[in-house]
Amino acid sequence: MFRKRMFLLALGLCLGWSGVSPTVMAAPEYRVCTFSADVTVPVGHGMMGGSWLSKTVADPLEANGMVLLGAGQPIVFVAVDWCEIRNEAYARWQVALAEAAGTDTNRVMVCTVHQHDAPVADLEAERILRSRHLVGTICDLAFHETAVQRVAKALRESLPSARRVTSLGLGQAKVEKVASNRRFIRADGSVSFNRMSSTTDQEAIDAPEGLIDPWLKTISFWDGDNPVVAISGYATHPMSYYGQGEVSADFPGMARRHRQQDTPTVKQIYFTGCAGNITAGKYNNGARENRPVLADRLYRAMVAAWAATKKYPLTNVIFRLDHVKFEPRDGPGYTPADLENKLVKETPPFQQCLAALGLSWREHLETGYRIAIPCIDFGVAQWLLLPGEAYVEYQLAAQRMRPDSFVAVAAYGEGAPGYIPTERHIAEHDGNLNDWWWVAPGSEPRLIDAIRRVLVVNE
């Protein structure tokens, strides 16, 4: 018997068996933690890139985020109730949050909700203005760092409370009577792009909604039957009224807070999709009493998307990254010399700010800067982040590329490009492209190609 056992042991060693039961590779264990921080600007701060200064606070601005652990290095997503975060400021957010999470900056997805009663952050643009002793002001440099550190601290302190998540939830619902395309056809057959965030133009009100994405999508993470976090996104400019000096998270902030009251143990996060050419104009006349009406419509879609949620085992998470190299907008008014010529005391303050923003972007591009396009792939769903004010066509294109999947698209990541229109909009002379459009024509195919690559679409 002894000789037989020795023979079997020797045979097992030859076959690579150690006499111990074979190791079975365990499925990866994923965990999620969530965090929030107040990022409300002080009174007197530049709003919407220096268009006006804050006078009062109607409601606070928040940064709401989550960290996904277990898919290699941690993945961070945060949505900030600011108008835009651009260039060096965007990099600062990524570095600070990466350090807090113990991850790589490329795995930090920062986006803004894009409310206009909120600030734009561009550190170099602000330094340009200050170096020329101009009155135009975009952002307070010291406050920006305070806000970043506040969010990083909240993230860092949330890590010990990370919860196991076993399932991914996917749900969607149509939002009724909120979004409309800026583009509409007038009675005389002419094309107009003047359906703004609010309008009293009866033709704009009567015209069809136009091309929109009507669906609010919600991605959620669950520990068994217990939901941990819900992230909802919808494509529309998030403004009811603005520009009167109030600081506000506007109707998406109201909807998100209402939903948070419903689910105190489930963190609610909201992002804005590709809404560069999408507004609430058809359904919004700008009256103050319309803000809660729009908020309620968005809130109802959040509730409906939650009710429609289906759960899937969370078994494999892949993080992918691609890049886009944009070219700066040129032509009259946008050359470096033209922008420099506007940086004088005689130029109105907001025009000073626009010139500084344009120069900051150009200087950033001269370093070889490419904008990252991140995507979290769950197999049954893909969640990607696009830069700037990408037009809704990009979101719809991403969904068409993966028709068999649930594709959620957040926009307003790196804000430096401003509007990213389609070539059609440029050819049709979209009037919204008179300013806040910082990329050259030809950007559409570059961004579409990056979306295709990060979604792993082979055509």
- Give CA–CA dist 93/151, Å, rounded: 9
**Confidence class for position 458, pLDDT limits 50, 70, 90:** confident
443-458 burial: b if 16+ Cβ within 10 Å, else e:
bbebbbebbbbbbeee
Strand partners, 33: 67
**Confidence class for position 37, pLDDT limits 50, 70, 90:** very high
| Stretch 67-95: mean pLDDT | 98
Say whether pLDDT at 422 is over 90.
Answer: yes
Which pLDDT score, from 0 to 100, does residue 26 have?
A: 57
Say whether pLDDT at 8 is over 70.
Answer: no
Say whether pLDDT at 97 is over 60.
Answer: yes
178, with CB counted inside 10 A (0-12, 13-18, 19+), is buried
Say whether pLDDT at 49 is over 60.
Answer: yes
Phi, psi of 174 (to 5 degrees): -75, 140
Q: Which two tokens stand for residue 422?
A: 């389609």
Q: Which two tokens stand for residue 302?
A: 């959040």
**Confidence class for position 312, pLDDT limits 50, 70, 90:** very high
- Give CA–CA dist 387/365, Å, rounded: 15
Say whether pLDDT at 280 is over 70.
Answer: yes
Q: Which two tokens stand for residue 157?
A: 């302190």
Tally Cβ neighbours within 10 Å of residue 189: 6
Specify the 3-state DSSP secondary structure of 439: strand
Q: What percent of the chain has pLDDT over 70?
A: 94
153, with CB counted inside 10 A (0-12, 13-18, 19+), is middle
Nearest Cα to Cα of residue 105 among 92, 119, 123: 92
| Domains in the chain: boundaries | 30-330+352-454
Which pLDDT score, from 0 to 100, does residue 459 have?
A: 56
248: DSSP letter: -
Nearest Cα to Cα of residue 254 among 310, 312, 295, 315: 295
- Give CA–CA dist 449/391, Å, rounded: 15
In 209-331 the beta strands, taken as DSSP E runs, fall at 215-223, 226-234, 246-247, 267-272, 278-279, 310-313, 318-324
Q: Which two tokens stand for residue 377?
A: 């792939």
**Confidence class for position 87, pLDDT limits 50, 70, 90:** very high
Say whether pLDDT at 303 is over 80.
Answer: yes
| Stretch 309-313: mean pLDDT | 98
Phi, psi of 186 (to 5 degrees): -80, 170
Tell me how far apart the terminal alpha carbons of the chain are, to the nearest angstrom: 64
In 235-303 the beta strands, taken as DSSP E runs, fall at 246-247, 267-272, 278-279
**Confidence class for position 245, pLDDT limits 50, 70, 90:** very high
Mean pLDDT of the chain: 94
Rounded to 10°, the helix 87-101/123-131 angle is 130
Specify the 3-state DSSP secondary structure of 258: helix
